[in-house]
Structure 1
Amino acid sequence: MARFSLVFSLLVLIICVDSYRRRPEDKTKCPLVKAIRNFNVEDLLGKWYVIEYYASSEEALAYRCMRADFTMSSNDVITMNFTYSFTDDPINEQLLGNITWVIPNPAEPAHWAHSEDTYEGVYNTYVLDSDYISWALLLHCAEKSKVPRYLSSFIMSRESTLGINVISYLRDKLPRYDIDVSYMFNMSQVDCNGTNFSDLPPTVLLNIDRPNGISSRRHPMKHHHG
C-alpha cells in the first residue's frame, strides 16, 4: 500500500510538472535574463560588426552591412552609433542611427536601459556574453502593456567574419529567451561602401529604381508594437 501511494504521488508530481511546462508563455512580458557576471563595460566599447541579427517582428532580413561603435560618457551613458543599409536598396545607401542607454544598477553593468523618451514602455538590453576582443552577444527586449513584446538580438564580432563554432556557441544561448534561431539571419558585410548620391549625375539618379522612402524607414533598433 505504501509503495502504491509513493508511485501515485510520483505520477501526480510528473503530471503537475508537465502541465507547468506546457503553460503558454506570456508573450507580452520580456523573459527573465541573467546578465553575465564580472562584466566590464569599457572593454566592450569600440567598433563591432553585426554578424547575425534577429528581430521578432521580422521574418526576413531587411538590413545589411550593419556596424556599431559603442562609446560611454563620463556620466555612464552608453551610446551606440551604427551604420547599415537596406537589402533591397540597389545603390546600398549607408544610413546612420544611434541609441543610448543608462545602467540602472551599477552592480549589474551588463544590463542597460534605453534612455530615450521615444521608446514607450520598458526597453532593456543585456550583454549575454562576450570575450571583449573577438565576439559579443546582445539581447534587446521591449514590452508595453497588452501588446506582444519585441525581442531582438545581435551576434557581433570585432572582424567582418566570425568562426562557425563561435556562432553556434552564441546561438545556443538564445532559445532559452524564446528566440527562434531559425530566424537568426546572417548579416552581409560585403560591398559595404555604399554610393554617394552627390557623385551621381541627375540622369543616373532618375533611372535608379529604389523603393520609396527608403531613407525614412524604421531603423533596426526602433521597435513597433502591433
Structure 2
Amino acid sequence: MSAVYLLLLMLPLVSAQTYHWGPCPNPKVQPSFNVQQYMGRWYEIAKLPASFEKGKCIEANYAVRKDGTIQVLNSQFYKDKVRVAEGTAVIPDKREPAQLGVSFSYFTPYSPYWILSTDYTSLSVVYSCTDVLRLFHVDYAWILGRSRFLPPETVRYAQDLLIGEGIDLFRMQSTDQTGCKDD
C-alpha cells in the first residue's frame, strides 16, 4: 500500500521525464572508453524529455579537474538568457570508465551517465536510468555531437543503437540548435 502511495506522490515529479514500469535496462557501454578524448564541448542533438532541460542551444562542456573529478558545465538558452549548471562527474569503477556518475548538487547522489558509444570527434550516445523501488524506472537518453547539427543518417544510427539496447525512444525530441551564439 505505501509503495503505491509513494508512486502516486512521485508521478507529478516524473511527468516531464520518461518512465517505464519495471527495472532499468542494462545496455552495453563504450569499450575501452578514453575519458581524456571525451573532454570538451558536446552539443545536444536529441534527448528524451528532461525537466531540467527546457531551453534551446543546449550544450555540455567537460574538463578534468586537478582532483581527478570531471567538471560538467551544462548551458542552455531559456527565457531570454543563458542558464548554466555546474556539476561533477566521477568514474566509480575504473574497470568501467564509460559508466560515469554525475551530480549537480552536494546533496544529491550521483546519477548514472553511461556513454554507450562515441567516436570522440563527432558523436556520443549517452544513457541514464534510475530505478524507483524496482516498480518503475526513469530514463534519459542523449544524442550529442561535436557540432550543433549532425547528418540525419548519424542521428538515425544513434537512435538505432539505443533501440537495440532496449531503450524506448517514443518521446525522443530534437533539440533546437538554431540561432545560437557560439563562443
TM over 0.5: yes
Q: 1:144 to 1:123 in 2, by over 3 A?
A: farther
Structure showing the higher helix proportion among its residues? 1
Partners of 1:95 and 1:130 lie apart in 2 by 26
Give the partner amino acid of 1:183.
R
Query: Equivalent of 1:130, from 111, 118, 136?
Result: 118
Superposition map of 1:38-57 within 5 A? 38-55=32-49
Task: Give the equivalent residue in structure 2 for 1:29.
Answer: 23
Query: Equivalent of 2:94, from 100, 106, 120?
Result: 106
TM score, norm. by length of structure 2: 0.77
Give SS of 2:150's match. coil
Superposition map of 1:215-226 within 5 A? none
Q: Report deviation, 1:48.
A: 1.2
Unaligned runs of 5+ in 2: 1-19
Question: Larger Cα Rg: Structure 1 or Structure 2?
Answer: 1
Query: Equivalent of 1:73, from 39, 59, 65?
Result: 65
Query: Equivalent of 1:119, from 90, 108, 119?
Result: 108
Query: Which of the pair has the greater relative contact order for Cα pairs under 8 Å at 6+ separation?
Result: 2
Give the partner amino acid of 1:50.
E
Deviations 1:33-73 (A, max 9, x none): 22111110110100111111113x67xx8331101101112
Give SS of 1:69's match. strand
Q: Report deviation, 1:137.
A: 0.9
Match status 1:181 vs 2:169: yes
Query: Equivalent of 1:169, from 143, 157, 176?
Result: 157
Give the partner amino acid of 1:82.
N
Task: Give the equivalent residue in structure 2 for 1:211.
Answer: none
Give SS of 2:136's match. coil
Q: Report deviation, 1:117.
A: 4.3
- % identical aligned pairs: 23
Give SS of 1:192's match. coil
Match status 1:84 vs 2:76: yes
Give the partner amino acid of 1:80.
V
Q: 1:37 to 1:54 in 2, by over 3 A?
A: same
Task: Give the equivalent residue in structure 1 for 2:139.
Answer: 151
Give the partner amino acid of 2:67.
N
Give the partner amino acid of 1:66.
I
Task: Give the equivalent residue in structure 2 for 1:12.
Answer: none
Structure showing the higher strand proportion among its residues? 2
Partners of 1:145 and 1:40 lie apart in 2 by 33
Partners of 2:132 and 2:118 lie apart in 1 by 29
Cα pair 2:132 2:138 within 8 Å, conserved? no
Give the partner amino acid of 1:48.
W
Unaligned runs of 5+ in 1: 1-25, 194-226
Partners of 1:118 and 1:140 lie apart in 2 by 19
Q: Report deviation, 1:183.
A: 1.6
TM score, norm. by length of structure 1: 0.63
Q: 1:114 to 1:144 in 2, by over 3 A?
A: farther
Cα pair 2:130 2:137 within 8 Å, conserved? yes
Cα pair 2:27 2:166 within 8 Å, conserved? no
Moved more, 45-54 or 109-118: 109-118
Q: 1:94 to 1:36 in 2, by over 3 A?
A: same
Residue-pair matches, total: 160
Give the partner amino acid of 1:165.
E
